[in-house]
């Protein structure tokens, strides 16, 4: 992911890092390697993954109260 600083605020990284049990540095590394994704809203997430009961291609995902969705791929 290019320009991580334009897509993700440090507060978001800290909040999500607790969910994924990673530190912010690990999260940035995963974002750079495209092993973690950030979606601006639920519509863009659903556009890529569809609406399902479970998402087998994802290890985990988290939706923030501002609408952003973070995903960690398998």
Report pLDDT for 7.
79
Round to whole Å and give the CA distance between 14 and 69. Answer: 14
pLDDT in tens, 18-68: 999 999 899 999 999 999 999 999 999 999 999 998 999 999 999 999 999
Q: What is the pTM for the complete model shown? A: 0.87
Helix (H, G, I), strand (E, B) or coil at 62: strand
Beta bridge partners of 71: 37, 61
Nearest to 46 by CA among 66, 67, 32: 67
């Amino acid at each position: 992911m290019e320009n991580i600083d334009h897509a993700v605020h440090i507060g978001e990284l800290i909040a999500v890092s607790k969910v994924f049990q990673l530190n912010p540095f690990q999260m940035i590394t995963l974002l750079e390697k495209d092993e973690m994704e950030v979606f601006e809203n639920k519509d863009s997430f659903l556009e890529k993954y569809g609406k399902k009961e479970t998402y087998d291609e994802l290890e985990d995902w988290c939706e923030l109260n501002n609408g952003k969705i973070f995903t960690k791929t398998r």
